Structures are given as C-alpha cells and as structure tokens.
Chains A and B, each alone.
Chain A
Amino acid sequence: MSHEIFMPALSSTMTEGKIVEWLKNPGDKVERGESVLVVESDKADMDVESFQDGYLAAVLMPAGSTAPVGETIGLIVENEDEIASVQEQNKGNQPEVSSSDQLELVSNKTEEKPEVQSEIVEKQEKEVVLMSEKAAPSFSSDQINAATSNVSSRVIASPRAKKLASQMGVDLAKVHGSGPHGRIQADDILKANGQPVSIPWIGEGGSPASVPGANLGVESKPETSGNSFGNPGETVQFNTLQKAVNKNMESSLDVPCFRVGYSINTDKLDNFYKKVKQNGVTMTALLVKAVAKTLKKHPQVNSSFSENGISYPENINIAVAVAMEDGGLITPVLKEPCNTDLFELSREWKDLVKRSRSKQLEPDEYSTGTFTLSNLGMFGVDRFDAILPPGTGAILAIASSKPTVVANSDGSISVKKIMQVNLTADHRVIYGADGASFLKDLASLIEDEPETLVS
C-alpha cells in the first residue's frame, strides 16, 4: 500500500510551492516524523515529514520543480518489497535525474520576481538551456554524447515546452522534437515524461503529476476492466446489472429528448480544486455541488414526467453514473448536496463508490436520483451526450476540460481551460429555454465563484 506525499500549504494564501531538496532518495527508509523533503515559499522553507514508517518509493516531482498545493509529489510504501512495483507503476513520472542538484540551480532564481511574468519565462528559457549543459557531466557517456550534440546545435523548444520540462524535470536535450525543424513542443515533453498527450484535467486525480491509469478515477478503471467482457467468438449473457441498464436505456426511446450544450471555462474551478484537493475533496463532489446549487434556482430542470403531469420532487438528489468493472453501471446518489458541505460530500461520495464496487448499496442509495451526472472527463473526451434515465427529467454529460484557444469579446485571443457539458432533457417537462438558462447559471457559478461551492 502506498501513501502519497502532498505539496503542503505553508500558508493560507500559498497556491504552489517549490521543492528545494529531497532529503531522501527513492528506496531510502523513512521513519514517521522524519524529514523527507524541503519545500520553499518566498523566504521561508519547511521540512516536510513522513506520516508513517516505510520507504520512499517514488519522487514524482524533482528538486527545483514547482507543484500546486495538494499535488502528489512522492510516494511512501510500508514494506520494502513494494518499492519495486510502485516504481514500476510510476516509471514515466519519475525524474530521470533524481539527485538533481543541477536542477536545483536552475529554477530557484525564478521565484524572486513573481510579478514580472514575462521576465521569468525568458529567464527560464535561458536557464533551461543552461540546465542541459550543466547536467551533462553527471550522465553516462552516451547521454553525454546525446546532450552535448544537442547543446552544440542548441535546443529549440517552445516556451511552454521549456516550462513543462523544468517543472517535470525532463531533460530537453533528450527529447525528440516533433515540431517544425525538430522544435520541441509541449506534447513532446509530456510524452517524454510518460504521460498521455492530452492531460485530462477534470476527473479524479487526473492532474499532471498523478500516475496515469493507476490514479485515474474512482468512477472508472479503463486499463484493468478491459474493453470486453468475453473472448473473441463468444456470446456472453448479460448479467443482472447489464439487463437492468438495457431496460432503462430502451425505455428512454419513448421519451422525446433534446440536447443543449455549453462550454464552461474551468480555470478558476481547477485552481480551487487544487487548493481543496488535499482536504480530500473530489472533482465529482465539486461538480455535484455546482449542479445541485444551480438546480435549486431551476426546479424545472429537476422535474420529471408523470402520467398526472409535471412532477416536482421534494429533494434535489444527484445520481452519478459509475461504470462497474464487470459490466453495467450504477448510479449512486448524493442526497441533498446543498445541505452538505463539500468535504462531507466528498467523503460520502468516496464511501458510495467503494460500496457500489462491492455491490453493497441499498436501493435508496442508487434509485432516488432526481438528476443525473455522467462524467467522462477523465478519459479526455471533448464531448458526448448521455441517455436519459427513466423517472428523471434531465442528465448532464460532462467532458474533459482542455486548454482551448478562445476568442474573447474584446477581440483578444487567449488560452483557457474549456469543459463542454451537454444536457439531455425530456422535452415534455423541460424546454430548451429551461435547459439553456440552467446551463448559463451553472457556467457562471463554475467560472466566477467556485469557492462558494464549499458550503
């Protein structure tokens, strides 16, 4: 079992911290209370200690790099024999130069002038080139050759690639550039660091430094639960859960649905998530909270069709689709999220997911949803639409939040993280204008005041 070391908050206003030094190397024994690394913010630095006896198995962010508060920066295992398997899983994420005194030299000057952004970027550009030269002597001979040959022909990389490289501890000299004239692009750095090219930003733990696959999300385990439940040539009977889903999906064919979509900027939400993640907050809980709060203002979107007319439920209960490893899906319900604080909601959600995997949910824990969320963001999908579950009026499909070039109303162009959401609704009870104004308010809640999602 591995325990994560998080970037600590040295102050209430700190959003990211710099790793000054790892006091332990991967494989070293650590005791509870022993200092494992040093983190710096401004002129103050702090020893970060291990919370348990064990071994430092992996360093996910090298010395000299900067990580957001709450980010996983290292892993500790309890037993020595777990080191190898954790290291294997995190291979792509570990810095290649783990004792990186050189890296330390590189980026510690950049913090001095936080307000002069462009200068920092320039500085980093210079320093990254510097790094590859400096790092060379500690490499093996063929690496030296690679490094020096590249240095002599000058490393050409985009500013973002350089920034990523310095954050992730990737040596630019060893990266093959896929851009024009071999220019190194951001994607090349991600690839070199063993990460999927498009980082799924929304979705549990899908942040840059997390372990691809292993940490991808409670809702889904794409790698382990293969893409098929049978072998080629076989026909496999539906299990009970799959049959139930089939029935529900077929009944949706009798419902006249329409769809309406919205692009939501998640820059603020992502920042807020980074801050609260260390307190156990999950992205699902955040989204559920946002949707529930917006539904409160839009009871029409929480309503459903019944033979007698439009039925308005007494509560707002948000069901969230969870794929099951052995087929089918289940929709655990977070009841009355507006009355639960974000932290409690996150705990409830984790408990529901755990119990739904072991099939221990009570019927009222998966059948009382008044509105459904389906989030495939962790797979990096840019958009999809969902099928309406029976007995409810609407379901929201949430896609991945991706850096997108956006034309602003003042004519300027910028890159923002954009998440597409798509509402499927029963037109007998919910009309286009209802759905659209619901999405507009949801978007402004997420874009403008995500911090209000706390309570």
Chain B
Amino acid sequence: MVNRTAIIKQPDKISFFNDVYELQKEHQEALILDNSKPDLIWIGEHQLCYTLGRGSSYENILFPLNDNKYEVFKIDRGGEVTCHMPGQLVTYLVLDLKNFNKDLNWYLRKIEKIIIKILGSFNIDCHLKPGYTGVWIGDKKIASIGIGCKRWITLNGFSINFDCELENFNKIIPCGIENCLMANMTDYNKNLTKRTVKRIVKKIIQEEFNFDFVSK
C-alpha cells in the first residue's frame, strides 16, 4: 500500500461549516493542480446547519426554507439532506483516490469500515444496512456518509453523532429515509469523552489509509 502524507486538522472549537467547506474545496483544487501535495483530514464540529447534496430534494426539509433560524448549504456531495451541530463529530477527507483505488464504491465501503472500527473501539456494536449507506445500531442511524469527487479527489466524508441534540434531525427527513431514527454514541457508552473519540478517529484513519500525519 502506498505511503501518503496527510495534513491533519482538528480544531477543538466549533467551526463554521462554510469555512471548512471552502478549506476542503481549496485543498481539492490544489491537489488537482499538484498531486504531490499531501491529502487533508479534518476532524471537528460545526454550528447547527443543514446541508444538501447536489441531487438532494428540498422536499426532505420540513421547515420553511426562508426561515432564517436555520442555515442551509447545498454542497458537492452525494446523498440527501443531513444536519450538523455541536456534539456531532465530523470528519472530512480530501484524498487523491488515484493513490488508493479509483473506485467510489470501494471508498464508501472503506469509510463504513472505518466507522465500524471507531465505534467498535468503544464496544459499540453497530452494523451496515444493505442499500442504506451509513452505519446503524439496530434501527437507529449513528453515522452518515456523503462523498463528493472530482478527478478522483474526494470531498466531505462522514459524521458520527456523539452527544448531539437529536431533535434537530426532526426538522428534516435525514438522508431521505422516512421515520429514520438517530442515535448518539453516548446512548451506548456513558464514559466517553469527545477527545478520546477524536483520537481514535485519527488513529483508525491513519491505519486504514497508511498515512503519515503532518500538521501543515
């Protein structure tokens, strides 16, 4: 397997969604121009906001779109509407798949495997649901995936609900799945700290993609 260097960013504070999205887009463009540049991994949290993929249906948003209370972003990823908020760990991977496997299905399955390993490290027993990309605990969804790709350079990634206000998902039909129940990691393991989970996210991504991490 190739040995790649990745820049890792993991702010402790809440980050504005659009700032991080721009950071990702800039990095994607930079990788397109120069593929010797390191990949980028970002692990953090966002303010409350709703995001849609390019193919998403606005019908899955249950609040009026002109309601200024909620921020909505339409971004370059697959999948339907989802919700980000403090207490949800978001991981973005801007990777050049040409160095791994030019296969988005492979990549999605890899991300699922990573999430299952992360949750497994905390003895949270989770599973996949064929046809419903993401990671589930029983009939509750704990992690969501959304990927964008341009010239095999990826954008976005996955989110794991840690201890977030799950009611925020009631204002949408998450991922377009009606009556979709959501879960938090802390529902299954009370003795978790966000810091530990972030460390494990980083470790498992490193193992799975064989990265050398650098800070810039």
A104 within 8 Å of B (CB atoms):
yes
B146 partner, pick from A35, A43, A104, beta carbons under 8 A: A43
Inter-chain contact A40/B78, CB cutoff 8 Å: yes
B11 within 8 Å of A (CB atoms):
no
A340 partner residues in chain B, CB cutoff 8 A: none
Number of B interface residues in the complex (CB < 8 A): 33
B106 partner residues in chain A, CB cutoff 8 A: 11-12
Question: Contacting chain B: which of A110-118, A331-339, A403-411?
Answer: A110-118
Docked pose: A42 CA to B130 CA in angstroms = 11
Inter-chain contact B105/A115, CB cutoff 8 Å: no
B103 partner residues in chain A, CB cutoff 8 A: 10-12
Question: Contacting chain B: which of A14-22, A276-284, A412-420, A438-446?
Answer: A14-22
Docked pose: A114 CA to B151 CA in angstroms = 27
Inter-chain contact A11/B59, CB cutoff 8 Å: no
A38 partner, pick from B54, B134, B147, beta carbons under 8 A: B54
B141 within 8 Å of A (CB atoms):
no
Residues from 30 to 52 in B contacting A, C-beta threshold 8 Å = none
How near does chain A come to B33, taking the closest CB pair, in angstroms?
10
- Once A11-B106, A12-B103, A42-B105 are accepted as A-B contacts, the answer to whether A113 and B131 lie under 8 Å apart by CB is yes
- Once A11-B104, A42-B105 are accepted as A-B contacts, the answer to whether A108 and B55 lie under 8 Å apart by CB is yes
A11 partner residues in chain B, CB cutoff 8 A: 103-106
Task: Give B133's nearest chain A residue, CB to CB.
Answer: A43
Docked pose: A283 CA to B103 CA in angstroms = 26
How near does chain B come to A349, taking the closest CB pair, in angstroms?
28
B145 partner residues in chain A, CB cutoff 8 A: 43
Inter-chain contact B55/A18, CB cutoff 8 Å: yes
Residues from 293 to 322 in A contacting B, C-beta threshold 8 Å = none
A382 partner residues in chain B, CB cutoff 8 A: none
A41 within 8 Å of B (CB atoms):
yes
A18 partner residues in chain B, CB cutoff 8 A: 55
How near does chain A come to B85, taking the closest CB pair, in angstroms?
20
How near does chain A come to B80, taking the closest CB pair, in angstroms?
8
B79 within 8 Å of A (CB atoms):
yes
A47 partner residues in chain B, CB cutoff 8 A: 76, 148-151
Interface centre among B55, B58, B175 (most CB of A within 10 A): B55
Number of A-B residue pairs at CB separation under 8 A:
100
Task: Give A115's nearest chain B residue, CB to CB.
Answer: B131
B79 partner, pick from A43, A114, A115, beta carbons under 8 A: A43
A329 within 8 Å of B (CB atoms):
no
Task: Give A108's nearest chain B residue, CB to CB.
Answer: B55
B108 partner, pick from A43, A108, A109, A114, beta carbons under 8 A: A43
Residues from 17 to 56 in A contacting B, C-beta threshold 8 Å = 18, 20-21, 35, 38, 40-47, 49
Main secondary structure of the interface of B (DSSP, over half): mixed
- Once A44-B78, A105-B59, A112-B131 are accepted as A-B contacts, the answer to whether A10 and B177 lie under 8 Å apart by CB is no
Docked pose: A217 CA to B31 CA in angstroms = 41
How near does chain A come to B61, taking the closest CB pair, in angstroms?
12
Task: Give B105's nearest chain A residue, CB to CB.
Answer: A11
Residues from 157 to 180 in B contacting A, C-beta threshold 8 Å = 175-177
A45 partner, pick from B53, B130, B133, beta carbons under 8 A: B53
B55 partner residues in chain A, CB cutoff 8 A: 18, 20-21, 38, 40, 45, 104, 108
Inter-chain contact B78/A112, CB cutoff 8 Å: no
Residues from 171 to 212 in B contacting A, C-beta threshold 8 Å = 175-177
Question: Interface code A195-226, partner B: CB below 8 Å = 1, 0 otherwise?
Answer: 00000000000000000000000000000000
Task: Give B28's nearest chain A residue, CB to CB.
Answer: A47
Task: Give A45's nearest chain B residue, CB to CB.
Answer: B78
Inter-chain contact A45/B131, CB cutoff 8 Å: no
How near does chain B come to A156, taking the closest CB pair, in angstroms?
25
How near does chain A come to B111, taking the closest CB pair, in angstroms?
9
Inter-chain contact A115/B78, CB cutoff 8 Å: no
A49 partner residues in chain B, CB cutoff 8 A: 150-151
Inter-chain contact A44/B150, CB cutoff 8 Å: no
Inter-chain contact B108/A42, CB cutoff 8 Å: yes
Inter-chain contact B150/A46, CB cutoff 8 Å: yes
B56 within 8 Å of A (CB atoms):
yes
Docked pose: A207 CA to B77 CA in angstroms = 30
How near does chain B come to A117, taking the closest CB pair, in angstroms?
11
Residues from 101 to 151 in A contacting B, C-beta threshold 8 Å = 104-105, 108-109, 112-115
Inter-chain contact A45/B57, CB cutoff 8 Å: no
Given A104-B55, A105-B58, A105-B59, 6 extra CB contacts under 8 A: A12-B103, A41-B78, A41-B105, A43-B108, A43-B134, A112-B175
Q: List 6 A-B pairs, minimum CB-CB distance, nearest first.
A: A11-B105, A20-B55, A45-B78, A44-B147, A47-B150, A44-B104
Q: Could you list 15 examples of A-B contacts with CB < 8 Å?
A: A10-B104, A10-B105, A10-B149, A14-B105, A40-B54, A40-B78, A43-B77, A43-B146, A44-B108, A45-B77, A45-B147, A108-B55, A108-B176, A109-B57, A115-B131
